[in-house]
Amino acid sequence: MSNPVEQKIIALREQIKQHNKNYYTYDKPVITDSEYDRLLGQLKQLENDYPQFLTTDSPSQKVGGTVLDKFIKVQHEVPMLSLDNVFNSEDLADFVERVNKRLSLTTELTFCAEPKLDGLAISLLYQKGYLIRAATRGDGNIGEDVTNNVKTIQNIPHILTGKNIPDVIEIRGEVVMPMDAFKQYNLIAAKNGDKCFVNPRNAAAGSLRQLDSKITANRPLAFYSYGIGLIKNADLPNSHYQRLLQLKQWGLPVTNEIKIKTGLQGCLDYYQFLLAARDTLPYEIDGIVYKVDDISLQQQLGFISRAPRWAIAHKFPAQEEQTRLLDVEFQVGRTGAITPVAILEPVFVGGVNISRASLHNNDEIQRLGIKIGDTVVVRRAADVIPQISGSLSEHSPSAKPIIFPTHCPVCHSEIERIEGEAVARCSGGLYCAAQRKEAIQYFASRKAMNIDGLGEKVVDLLVDENLINTPADLFLLKAEQLIGLDRMGPKKAENIINAINKSKKTSFAKFLLALGIREVGEATARNLAEHFLTLDALKKANIDDLQEVDDVGEIVAKHVQYFFRQAHNLEVIDALLEAGVQWPILQAKQQHTLPLANKTYVLTGTLSKMKRSEAKASLQALGAKVSGSVSSKTDTVVAGEAAGSKLIKAQDLKINIINEDELIALLELYSK
């Protein structure tokens, strides 16, 4: 039986080889970068402690993955090696000490410090200044020919410009998908029902390794140079930093963040600087690369099997980790917004333990395609709220779908989801405990019931002390209940009670506004009051009835209908009326003598001879109602240029349709 340590090393190697294939060859990683780094670190440590088990085919001795057969193979004349990693200042100090000792230096070394871009390594071969070939890194010795795809990347020059261009030069760099482009791409993909990328690196690799270059051309990729491989007949500086500046002069992109740093402390200072700036950069980075700047010293230091001795990657703390999605809870915000929250198997991300993460809304759940029980990627950039950025596994047979509730988990009122809106909301605004403070504050506000002295702090105090649960409870308060509360003396308590009692006499419009119905502001509340005259009539109104009101479209009509069909909301309204809230009875406007009285008009399309507001005002002056939508109760539709769905609906309902000239003639006729 083989040694247990050797067995563990063999198992780690097989595991890492499979992850290399998933990551480099298929662009479909099933673990996070940080988890991969840990596995590779374990293997290196074991091989270091037990060198008798080290073999040349170990992943610790190799670069990247295999080359896919669908691509033409490219032999790199100068191998494209990987980099060794360090994860803390102590290990970086060890690297600097090793380099100094090997070079027998007594002075501090100068390093070129560069952001470590998280993308796909690429080699660009130029002859006489012309781009003739592009290849992936592959396994470091053999890569894939992706020339046609690379030529679609906008910031890669096909011809170098400037002076002293070498006969042959091979530029090494990274292809990335910039952060803004990545987010925009995923938004469009989700909208179209296409697959979304888990991260920008995966997006760049998957986009570049396409057999059809037209697909690559439609992906927002960018390239940044970080070094030179093969070179012939060239007179270049002896400084790595200066060589990068020379590449920039020839038209090749180089990141703006490259810097010259001296000694260990200079490198550590740069690390802190770039770590702080990480989330403001246009591209994703996962660390810093320090390279001995002097090229002759680089050559003196040479290479080990898979990495140069003169460079090291200083990795940032992981912003992404993987864990298991245990469950999803649905929280109700102060405004009724329903937010799904992922319950996670605790995981350490970005310096903190994470056990919960926002899933934002139902659209995001559908975009991610995740289920309860999945292995997911949790991301925490800077100090932002952790969120799930993707799934790393196929759904297991035991995985459960995430079902968005139809009723509020707090008050059981209907959840309102308007088509085209991402946020779903509880419609029990007057009753829902989660919305209690917000609803009461709005009810008492100056433009609504105007209860003087009942500001945010007082409302919070009354709710926290369980003195009020709904706006109706305000009218049951007694002064003695308030006296003794924080900063509440007899005089202030009496003033608040007097203000509450005074507010009982209001107007129908202000009462409707105070109910806090979504998107019903002062003007809409006034229009609803003047149109329906009574609360009972408004309660009974259907969508078509509501849309006959000025400035009430389909969405606002749905908000109103949702609100009045919640039993709990009606209970609170009844309690308010029983408490004595009242308003003068409204009378219908005397418009029956006007020529267009009781006629409903709809304006659609573009009017060229008069403004729509003028047309609306003129029709209303003649007694007409001007609605925002077409219904069976519409009498006439005025169709301007480029009239759309409203015109089609009017035609389907066989409603009278007139053009702008006919409208003008009508207005002139009745204006005489």
Active centre residues (catalytic): 116
The DSSP letter of residue 21 is I
Furthest-apart CA pair in the chain: how many Å? 110
Residue 31: both structure tokens together: 């673990």
Rounded Cα gap, residues 291 and 307, in angstroms: 12
Rounded Cα gap, residues 380 and 187, in angstroms: 20
3-state DSSP call for residue 151?
coil
Q: How far is CA 664 from CA 587, 610, 646, 661, in A?
A: 32, 9, 20, 5
Burial 499-515 (b: 16+ CB within 10 A, else e): bbeebeebebbbbbbbb
- Phi, psi values for residue 314, rounded to 5°: -100, 100
Rounded Cα gap, residues 13 and 57, in angstroms: 9
Rounded Cα gap, residues 477 and 496, in angstroms: 10
Residue pair 507/529 in contact by the 8 Å Cβ criterion: yes
Residue pair 389/342 in contact by the 8 Å Cβ criterion: no
3-state DSSP call for residue 557?
helix
Rounded Cα gap, residues 90 and 312, in angstroms: 13
Q: How far apart are the first and last CA of the chain?
A: 110
Residue pair 387/198 in contact by the 8 Å Cβ criterion: no
